Amino acid sequence: MTSKATIDNFLAQKKLAVVGVSRNKNKFGNIIFRMLKEHGYQVFPINHHTEIVEGVQCYPSLEKLPEKVDGIVINVPPGQTLEVLKSALELKLLRVWLQQGSESNEVNSFCQMHEFEFISGHCIFMFAEPVGFGHRIHRWLWKILGKLPQ
């Protein structure tokens, strides 16, 4: 289970890669990339199908990043997530946010087995301050229901 301390530690990092950034502005990978950028993070988009996203150079993989990042937000299907995690492990990038849809039992087991500091089952929009109105309501509901990380 993800703790509040793990989430706070991840969000304290200021240099992040977002794997699965889309060219489509309405897809979660693109929205996450823009939100983190707007919140003051140095963000490196990763998508092996394009060179530019939102006017920013895009990289095909973690290995091709120009510098080491502090954490990775993953927004790709679980089969691809495992490949990303294997690369992250080799690069010793062990802080990972598994956005919903990128996780699976196998992915979570891999993270536990290799001692990743990972967030699973939580949307980054609910925690990256300042949180938008809709996600603040969602976070409040989770708190009421006892689902918010402690």
Q: Answer whether residue 81 is part of any domain.
A: yes
Domain-located, residue 20? yes
The reply to whether 150 falls in a domain is no
Residues 86-98 pLDDT 10s: 999 999 999 999 9
Percentage of the chain lying above the pLDDT 90 cut? 85
* Domain range for 47: 4-145
Residue 76 lies in a domain: yes
* Domain-embedded: residue 61: yes
Assess if residue 140 is contained within a domain.
Answer: yes
Domain containing residue 63: CATH number: 3.40.50.720
pTM for this predicted structure: 0.94
Which residues make Cβ contacts (< 8 Å) with residue 72, sequence separation at least 6? 16, 17, 18, 19, 62, 84, 88, 93, 95, 96, 97
Burial of 42 (0-12, 13-18, 19+ CB in 10 A): middle
Q: What is the pLDDT of residue 13?
A: 96
- The pLDDT of residue 2 is 87
Q: What's the structural domain count of the chain?
A: 1
Domain assignment of residue 52, yes or no: yes
Q: Above 80 in pLDDT, residue 1?
A: no
pLDDT digits (tens, 9 = 90+) for 53-82: 989 999 999 999 999 999 999 999 999 999
